[in-house]
Amino acid sequence: MNYWLFKSEPDAYSLDDLKNDKGRRTHWDGVRNYQARNFMRNMAKGDLGFFYHSNCEEPGIVGIIEVCREAYPDHTAFDPRDKHFDAKSNPEEPRWFMVDVRYKRRLKRPISLRELKEYADSRLTDFALVRRGNRLSVLPVTKRHWDFIVGLES
């Protein structure tokens, strides 16, 4: 099993939106960064992820989700009316991929980016989220970091 972090602005799509979607699942589309795309292509069904609210008053990890469908072509790249359209991508040679994720649970309490950064020099060294300048919407999480962060919620 692998662990991931998925970022979303709560005004665009929040953990509550996922929880309230039919079947409590959605496709994670619109990723337009090659490194993040490659991370998604490495995801397996059953992998777990943190749901992170970004670009809001108090950014932080708010829940846990599960990958329920492995990477497949992101259809939004083919639709000229979609905000994620990419004219260089086509169904025969897709450039962009997405995965499906399912709501698992809300954390007992949000774990803020500020709190996570307090551990950047000790327990969360090399955790991509706390590195300066990291803007990827999908990030890998080590088992050690996963266990530590889950332990913070109590």
Q: Are 153 and 105 in contact (CB under 8 A)?
A: no
Q: Give the pLDDT of the chain (154 residues) as one tens digit per residue.
A: 999 999 999 999 999 999 999 889 999 999 999 999 999 999 999 999 999 999 999 999 999 999 999 999 999 999 999 999 999 998 999 999 999 999 999 999 999 999 999 999 899 989 999 988 778 899 999 999 999 999 999 8
- Please indicate, yes or no, whether the overall pTM of this predicted structure exceeds 0.85: yes
For the chain, list the domains and their CATH numbers.
3-152 (3.10.590.10)
Q: What percentage of the chain reaches a pLDDT higher than 90?
A: 91
DSSP labels, the chain: --EEEEEE-TTTS-HHHHHHSGGGEEEE-----HHHHHHHHT--TT-EEEEEE-SSSS-EEEEEEEEEEEEEE-GGGG-TTSTT--TT-BTTB---EEEEEEEEEEEEEEEEHHHHHTTTTTTTTT-GGGSTT---SEEEE-HHHHHHHHHHT-
Using only the alpha carbons of the chain, give its radius of gyration: 15
